[in-house]
Amino acid sequence: MATLQAVSGMNDLLPADGQGARWHRLETAFRDTSVRYGFQEVRTPLCEYAELFQRGVGEATDIVEKEMYTFDDRGQRRLALRPEGTASAVRAAIEHSVLARDPVVRWSYVGAMFRAERPAKGRYRQFHQVGAEVYGDDSPAVDAEVIDLASSFLQSIGITKFIVRVNSLGGAETRARYREALLAYFAPHREALSPESQLRLERNPLRILDSKDPRDQAFKAGAPSLVDALTPEDRAHFDRVQGFLTALGTPFVVDASLVRGLDYYSRTVFEIVDTSGSLGAQDALGGGGRYDQLFTELGSAKPVPAFGFALGIERLLLAAPVEEEKKPFRVAVVAVAKPDENTTHAGVLALARELRMHGFETVVDTRFGSMKSQMRRANDLAAAVVLLIGSNELAAEQVSMKLMATGEQRSVPRAALLDELTQTQRAPAATGAP
Ligand code: AMP
């Protein structure tokens, strides 16, 4: 029988290469930073009605058109694995009327997203994002604070080589006027554009500015500037965002060509790009922006201004420095007993349990081979301390404690054991630390 493999573009995380610990630290850092900015975590299902993303992300986007994993469930309803987190979070906010209870809501999320893209370094079919969203506040202070959250989170995980590009797409009125200006500009060049951009010309000409196709570059460069199309209100909003970012000390550059691939943005958009070179072609760490129309598009009776971002965890981990693992203080309990000696084995398990309840990372070689093989296993697992118990120790309510770094061994009364271990853990020599 052929050996089964994981779906292409969907990755296993194996503990042995230290990835699990890195993921854990990153997610913890994100939760810590976002809590300090007043965010609370929301968890939504991995799967939604496909219509949510068609309406939310936009029919004419790459994500919905080409990359969504959709399928019919047993009741013939069209479902989709979520390709991003914003539409689901907004759906949940509307469904549970969260803004009726609280005028401003700050939500963060961490989780898997799915897009059927061509797998490459930094581009997968199941990938993971951390994200944050603010609902109910249209102030430019929100835009600045949330961009600052993204930027300070990156710094907290040791990513320092990045730039924050910001732009304003203007509100609905600006977008409509700008669309006309783009149509007028690109239409005479239609035949020379890439086939994809020819399609975009009909459906969403703004997206031509997003094109990476070499055939579109020369035309892109001469396109009318969005900044010139901004209304005075849009301009004032954008100026204030920039002023607040400067006041916060968040470095940024204004990039008039930044449009982002999703339909729902209005006014401020931003993108964070890695500049260390460690990501190759997939150098966008994440981005986001304001999406003041999305609530209405997803059925909210009242318009609700919103702002959010998402960062890709896999790319963050490619960009972040690999820290040296902190050596855990690990205790091994070893049975000095014949292979069939149940009482001693039970004593070993009971002691390990007690230590675990008191917070010590404790290992037992439950195969209960010879003492020598248990000691070898303790050594392989880098135990700092080995506790040996046999029938004598059990009877005398003692354990034999061996420090692996020095080889020193002595008897310790059971009653004093927890204190002894705590002291040993504090003494650097016991853990083999310099
Ligand atoms: P987006 O939702 O497209 O704005 O993406 C935000 C971020 O999510 C990107 O900058 C990436 O860091 C990450 N991301 C998006 N798509 C993928 C993918 N297919 N594989 C890995 N990361 C991705």
- Show me where the domains of the chain are located: 15-171+231-319, 330-431
Average of per-residue pLDDT across 362-379: 96
- Distance CA(219)–CA(377), nearest Å, equals 66
Percent of the chain with pLDDT over 70: 98
- Distance CA(137)–CA(55), nearest Å, equals 22
**Which protein residue has the closest C-alpha to ligand 1 atom 11?**
312
**Which protein residue has the closest C-alpha to ligand 1 atom 5?**
286
Is ligand 1 within 6 A of the CB of residue 9? no
CA angle 346/347/351 to nearest 5° reads: 120
Quick check: 362 and 355 in contact, CB under 8 A? Answer: yes
Listed in sequence order, the DSSP H helices in 275-330 are: 294-297, 313-319
Rounded to the nearest whole angstrom, what is the distance from the C-alpha of residue 82 to the centroid of ligand 1?
13
Query: Which has the closest alpha carbon to 420: 372, 346, 358, 343?
Result: 358
Quick check: 374 and 383 in contact, CB under 8 A? Answer: no
Quick check: 337 and 344 in contact, CB under 8 A? Answer: yes
Is ligand 1 within 6 A of the CB of residue 285? yes
What are 270's strand-pairing partners?
166, 288
Is ligand 1 within 6 A of the CB of residue 314? yes
Rounded to the nearest whole angstrom, what is the distance from the C-alpha of residue 194 to the centroid of ligand 1?
24
Name the residue of 53, 69, 113, 290 to mutate for ligand 1: max ligand atoms within 8 A of Cβ. 113
Name the residue of 118, 123, 259, 260 to mutate for ligand 1: max ligand atoms within 8 A of Cβ. 123
Is ligand 1 within 6 A of the CB of residue 312? yes
Comparison of pLDDT for 175 and 387, the residue scoring more: 387
- Residue 270 DSSP SS3: strand
Tokens in use for 141?
A: 């202070």
Ligand 1 atom showing the smallest separation from residue 123 Cα: 20
Is ligand 1 within 6 A of the CB of residue 362? no
pLDDT of 433 over the 60 cut: no
* DSSP letter assigned to residue 93: H
Name the residue of 282, 290, 291, 316 to mutate for ligand 1: max ligand atoms within 8 A of Cβ. 282
Percent of the chain with pLDDT over 90: 72
| Backbone torsions φ then ψ of 40, nearest 5 degrees | -125, 145
Average of per-residue pLDDT across 31-60: 94
Query: Could you tell me the strand order of the sheet in which 398-403 lies?
Result: 361-364, 330-335, 385-389, 398-403, 409-413
pLDDT of 262 over the 80 cut: no
SS (H, E, C) 57-71: CCCCCHHHHHHCCEE
Listed in sequence order, the DSSP H helices in 188-312 are: 195-203, 214-221, 226-229, 232-248, 294-297
Q: 61-107 pLDDT, tens per residue? A: 788 888 999 999 999 999 999 999 999 999 999 999 999 999 999 99
Q: Give me the amino acid identity at 411.
A: S
pLDDT of 434 over the 50 cut: no
pLDDT, position 347: 95
Q: 160-176 pLDDT, tens per residue? A: 999 999 999 998 888 88
Q: In Å, how far are 116, 239, 258, 262, 372 from 83, measured between CA atoms?
A: 9, 32, 21, 11, 52
**Which protein residue has the closest C-alpha to ligand 1 atom 7?**
286
Is ligand 1 within 6 A of the CB of residue 83? no
**Which protein residue has the closest C-alpha to ligand 1 atom 12?**
312
Question: What is the domain class of 330-431 according to CATH?
Answer: alpha beta
Going by pLDDT thresholds of 50, 70 and 90, the confidence category of residue 263 is low
- Residue 256 DSSP SS3: coil
Enumerate residues 6+ apart whose C-beta is below 8 A from 18: 322, 325
Q: 280-305 pLDDT, tens per residue? A: 888 999 999 999 999 999 999 999 99
**Residue 312 belongs to what H/E stretch?**
strand 306-312
Rounded to the nearest whole angstrom, what is the distance from the C-alpha of residue 322 to the centroid of ligand 1?
21
- Domain 15-171+231-319 is found in CATH 3.30.930.10: yes
Rounded to the nearest whole angstrom, what is the distance from the C-alpha of residue 84 to the centroid of ligand 1?
8
Rounded to the nearest whole angstrom, what is the distance from the C-alpha of residue 86 to the centroid of ligand 1?
13
Comparison of pLDDT for 61 and 118, the residue scoring more: 118
Tokens in use for 173?
A: 């009125």
Is ligand 1 within 6 A of the CB of residue 393? no
Q: Give me the amino acid identity at 357.
A: M
pLDDT of 429 over the 80 cut: no
Rounded to the nearest whole angstrom, what is the distance from the C-alpha of residue 81 to the centroid of ligand 1?
15
Is ligand 1 within 6 A of the CB of residue 347? no
